[in-house]
Amino acid sequence: MLRGLYTAAAGMVTQQRRHDTATQNIANLNTTGYKQVDSVSHAFPEVLISAMSGGTVKPVGRMNTGVFAEQSVSQYLQGDLIESGKPVDFALSTDLQVADPATGANINFDGSGKYITPDGEVIYRPQAFFTVQDNDGNQLYTRNGSFTVNAAGEVLSAGGFKVLDSNGNPLILTGPQDKLKVDGQGNLLNPATGRPSGTRLGISVVTRPQELVRDGNGVFHADDVDNADIRFANGTDNLQVRQGYLENSNVDATKVTVDMNAAYRAYEANQKVIQFYDSSLQKAVNEVGRI
């Protein structure tokens, strides 16, 4: 009986976390560059059930002992681009490709941006991010291109981090903001000639985006840069920088609303099960115990 009580309690905890994830997504429907988070649940390890009769043990089968919310997975799908008209606002439009190790042809990723090989290996679509630097010199990654410029000419992200160029150095503007021009590959143009000035926005290509860790405020970091396979973009990458635009949140309002309601109903169901077990235990203690 207690096993069922623990299973229902684990279900309540899992549904609460699922509900929290859905409400977080809804709260960030209009957050620039926000990437939707999906909660992934897994079963506890199964246990082998056996029956003893006449001194012999006969296997009955396996029984699941509950569920738990294992992790939250970010969905890096492209969000809609919204025109802001500000010269220091930028958005990334990407369609980075990966060759199939077996055939050499470009992989056709599914709607969530992943592909499963016949051998069961999961390959995720590479993603591009603006590269910023915190006060400790650590490189961080964001899709929020709502930048500002301080009195020293340093370009800062929405979180106050320094925006980096393609050499990993803080990006510094020497001219007025309204004269800033950037081409589709992120090259800053010379206002007089209209040609690339030799400075480029630091756009990082993350080959394994599933290795990124969400820090909050639309910023990610990599615990292991080599494992995430991060590099600065080059002219051959299929990406485009849009000046005067911002990328909206990629949250699917309909989906997360359904998820939130489903989590609420599942939480209620597990709560009823716990109430049933509590009533049964009460009878066992107060009534059966008298006999």
Q: Using CA atoms of 138, 143, 147, 152 in order, give the dihedral in degrees to the nearest 10.
A: 20
- Residue 261 pLDDT grade (very low, low, confident, very high; cuts 50, 70, 90): very high
Specify the pLDDT at position 10. Answer: 83
Give yes or no for residue 291 having a pLDDT over 60: no
Give yes or no for residue 1 having a pLDDT over 60: no
What is residue 80's three-state secondary structure?
A: coil
For 43, the enclosing helix (H) or strand (E) is: strand 37-43
Distance CA(9)–CA(274), nearest Å, equals 7
Specify the pLDDT at position 40. Answer: 80
Q: What is the mean pLDDT of the chain?
A: 87
Specify the pLDDT at position 207. Answer: 92
Q: Which range, of 39-53, 189-203, 268-282, averages the lowest pLDDT?
A: 39-53
| Cβ(67)–Cβ(14) below 8 Å | yes
Q: Please compute the mean of the pLDDT values over residues 103-127 and round it to a whole number.
A: 84
List the structure tokens of 150: 């301080």
- Residue 191 pLDDT grade (very low, low, confident, very high; cuts 50, 70, 90): confident
- What residue spans define the domains of the chain? 2-74+252-290, 81-247
How confident is the model over 164-186, as pLDDT tens digits? 999 999 999 987 888 899 999 99
